[in-house]
């Protein structure tokens, strides 16, 4: 994963890298953000557009980022500087570093909620949650209190700082080799249970039923943002991880494997949430609370619900942690490489600053009225940050990464990096067309439409 020492280390094995990159990709984006976006944006229409973007934009950009990282062996800013000396391209890296910081500032709040739920499940607080109303009350009570969300955010940020500070190739990497497959199996079990709930099939119809009339610009930009967010793209996380990857490894198969697992887990989350939601008669457009409110009803439909709950939230906390690690690592690696900071000073300072930036988001769920939903934009502060950075900034980042690889550094140089070591890159032609033309034009068209309709949130 992230190297122990300050020298640029390498991932021990290909499996270790895939695990680290998949660890970055798989997180709250899959379990929390995907279902809530899908619910808010009409279900099947959103899911189909999202899947198209994963293939046509996500996979090409993951390869672009990995090749930039591995060729330059640098953090996002240093990478652009190394490959295009004397140009303005490092600004794209700086945008990415800023974006990672801003995403971490709301992600850690939601990650804090998962810690809160882990606590509830450990102390039996979820066993009484038998109806949707009770579940809703528990959730809004937790996130709407003034102090608890701040404390939970602080605790999660502390965990992240400790891991990034200490280097993770030991404990966390070894642990996640076992835990992530366990998470996968648990999700499959939950999905089967949820689908077989009475009334559950309606949820599947919502998730996979396609309806053209539901596709709007908002649905399209949200699906694009979600594809990039979920794959950790557009801000240089994969540039950073690519820089730790040994040159003999196959970028194309590694990148495609990560995209495959990430997408499967998002779909699994949808298959758990929507049948259970429809069975309980809930509203798919409930927003950021969707997953938190729905999950306890799935556990309570299973034997050993307490144990299932504890297992689910522990694994979700770990999945979120392997993502926050990658976000903080992007920022930290920039300050170490480009500004000469020590790892210890960088992690503690940046982690603390990011926590301060997270406080308004933590307070925006009911504790502080002017930051809440009825604020100016009809979105609370957390959601505004989520949309601005998670959708728009990542889309702009991905656009520039494609333009850089396609037109500045050059497809030939990038393809040489991907083929290094004699690996066959059978999709080279298609990739070149996607990176040079399809991705930039698609992103520009979508952003153009958004500006035209001025329907930003």
Task: Kindly tell me which of 33 and 218 has the beta carbon lying closer to ligand PHE.
Answer: 33
Q: Yes or no: say if 44 and 206 are a contact pair by the CB < 8 Å rule.
A: yes
Task: Kindly tell me which of 237 and 405 has the beta carbon lying closer to ligand PHE.
Answer: 237
Other CB atoms within a 10 A radius of the CB of residue 433 amount to: 14
> Looking only at Cα atoms, what is the longest distance across the chain?
63
Task: Kindly tell me which of 135 and 226 has the beta carbon lying closer to ligand PHE.
Answer: 226
Tokens 């000469």, residue located: 340
Gap between the Cα atoms of 12 and 7, Å rounded: 15
Task: Kindly tell me which of 62 and 301 has the beta carbon lying closer to ligand PHE.
Answer: 62
Task: Kindly tell me which of 327 and 363 has the beta carbon lying closer to ligand PHE.
Answer: 327
CB of 266 to ligand PHE, least distance (A): 8
Gap between the Cα atoms of 415 and 401, Å rounded: 15
CA distances from 211 to 46, 51, 97, 208 (A): 10, 15, 38, 10
Gap between the Cα atoms of 425 and 29, Å rounded: 29
> Residues 148, 183, 26, 326: what is their CA dihedral angle, to the nearest 10 degrees?
70
CB of 237 to ligand PHE, least distance (A): 4
Q: CB nearest ligand PHE: which residue?
A: 29
CB of 340 to ligand PHE, least distance (A): 25
Task: Kindly tell me which of 138 and 316 has the beta carbon lying closer to ligand PHE.
Answer: 316
Other CB atoms within a 10 A radius of the CB of residue 152 amount to: 25
Binding site for ligand PHE (CB under 6 A): 24-25, 27-30, 103, 229-230, 232, 235, 237, 323, 326-327
CB of 28 to ligand PHE, least distance (A): 5
CB of 319 to ligand PHE, least distance (A): 7
Task: Kindly tell me which of 2 and 132 has the beta carbon lying closer to ligand PHE.
Answer: 2
CB of 241 to ligand PHE, least distance (A): 10
Task: Kindly tell me which of 118 and 138 has the beta carbon lying closer to ligand PHE.
Answer: 118
CB of 322 to ligand PHE, least distance (A): 9
203: number of CA atoms within 13 Å, CB side? Answer: 30
Gap between the Cα atoms of 275 and 278, Å rounded: 5
Task: Kindly tell me which of 118 and 415 has the beta carbon lying closer to ligand PHE.
Answer: 118
CB of 235 to ligand PHE, least distance (A): 6
CB of 197 to ligand PHE, least distance (A): 26
Burial of 369 (0-12, 13-18, 19+ CB in 10 A): exposed
In the chain, count H helices and then E strands: 22, 0
Exposure pattern of 97-132 as b/e (b: 16+ CB <10 Å)?
Answer: bbbbbbbbbbbbbbbbbbbbbbebbeeebbeebeeb
């Amino acid at each position: 994963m992230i190297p122990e020492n300050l020298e640029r280390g390498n991932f021990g094995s290909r499996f270790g890298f895939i695990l680290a990159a998949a660890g970055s990709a798989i997180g709250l984006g899959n379990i929390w953000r995907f279902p809530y976006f899908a619910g808010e944006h009409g279900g099947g229409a959103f899911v189909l557009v999202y899947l198209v973007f994963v293939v046509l934009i996500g996979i090409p950009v993951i390869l672009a980022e990995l090749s930039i990282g591995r060729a330059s062996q640098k953090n996002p800013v240093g990478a652009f500087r190394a490959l295009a000396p004397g140009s303005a391209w490092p600004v794209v890296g700086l945008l990415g570093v800023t974006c990672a910081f801003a995403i971490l500032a709301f992600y850690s709040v939601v990650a804090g909620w998962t810690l809160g739920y882990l606590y509830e499940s450990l102390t039996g607080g979820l066993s009484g949650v038998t109806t949707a109303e009770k579940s809703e009350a528990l959730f809004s009570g937790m996130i709407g209190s003034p102090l608890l969300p701040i404390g939970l955010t602080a605790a999660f940020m502390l965990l992240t700082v400790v891991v990034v500070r200490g280097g993770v190739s030991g404990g966390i990497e070894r642990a996640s080799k076992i835990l992530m497959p366990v998470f996968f199996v648990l999700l499959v079990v939950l999905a089967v249970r949820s689908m077989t709930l009475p009334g559950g099939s309606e949820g599947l119809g919502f998730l996979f039923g396609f309806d053209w009339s539901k596709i709007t610009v908002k649905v399209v930009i949200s699906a694009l943002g979600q594809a990039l967010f979920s794959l950790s793209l557009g801000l240089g996380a994969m540039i950073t991880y690519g820089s730790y990857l040994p040159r003999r490894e196959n970028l194309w198969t590694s990148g495609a494997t990560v995209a495959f697992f990430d997408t499967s887990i998002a779909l699994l989350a949808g298959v758990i949430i929507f049948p259970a939601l429809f069975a309980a008669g809930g509203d798919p457009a409930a927003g950021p609370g969707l997953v938190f409110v729905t999950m306890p009803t799935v556990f309570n439909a299973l034997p050993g619900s307490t144990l299932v709950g504890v297992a689910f939230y522990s694994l979700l906390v770990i999945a979120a942690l392997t993502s926050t690690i990658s976000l903080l690592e992007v920022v930290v690696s920039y300050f170490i490489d480009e500004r000469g900071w020590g790892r210890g000073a960088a992690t503690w300072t940046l982690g603390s600053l990011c926590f301060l930036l997270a406080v308004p988001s933590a307070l925006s769920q009911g504790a502080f009225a002017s930051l809440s939903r009825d604020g100016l934009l009809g979105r609370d502060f957390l959601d505004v940050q989520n949309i601005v950075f998670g959708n728009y900034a990542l889309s702009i980042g991905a656009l520039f990464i494609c333009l850089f690889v396609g037109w500045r550094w050059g497809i030939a140089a990038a393809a040489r990096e991907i083929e290094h070591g004699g690996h066959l890159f059978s999709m080279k032609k298609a990739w070149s067309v996607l990176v040079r033309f399809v991705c930039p034009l698609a992103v520009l068209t979508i952003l153009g439409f958004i500006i035209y309709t001025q329907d930003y949130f």
